[in-house]
């Protein structure tokens, strides 16, 4: 089994994620590309000791970048929006 800290990479703190936090009790995280919804749910519950209701995942494609005559692409990554049970919250999450 993969360690929960390898699945959850970092929280994503944006204006949209802050609005979702206030209105829907949803938190946004950057997660491992290979992780599925069940693994993400278990990792969040284990790390933060909260009850997860739903997990939505989004595959984010890397943007093409150029520097002079050289061109490349940023890495693809995965975003997870995690909805918690009403009343639960993650204290370490700052908006």
Q: What is the pLDDT of residues 13-40, one digit of tens each?
A: 999 999 999 999 999 999 999 999 999 9
pTM of the model: 0.89
Domain ranges of the chain: 4-84
| Residue 44 and residue 61 in contact, taking contact as beta carbons nearer than 8 Å | no
Token pair 């919250």 is at which residue? 89
User: How many of the other CB atoms lie within 10 Å of CB of 50?
Assistant: 19
| Class of domain 4-84 as given by CATH | alpha beta
Sheet hosting strand 26-31, strand order edge to edge: 8-11, 26-31, 77-84, 52-60
pLDDT tens by residue, 72-82: 999 999 999 99
Task: Specify the pLDDT at position 2.
Answer: 80
């Amino acid at each position: 089994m993969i360690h929960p800290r390898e699945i959850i990479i970092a929280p994503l703190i944006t204006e949209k994620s802050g609005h979702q936090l206030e209105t829907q009790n949803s938190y946004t995280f950057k997660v491992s590309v290979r992780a599925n919804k069940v693994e993400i749910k278990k990792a969040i519950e284990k790390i933060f000791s909260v009850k997860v209701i739903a997990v939505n995942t989004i595959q984010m494609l890397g943007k093409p970048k150029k520097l002079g005559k050289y061109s490349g692409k940023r890495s693809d990554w995965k975003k997870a929006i995690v909805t918690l049970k009403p009343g639960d919250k993650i204290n370490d999450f700052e908006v």
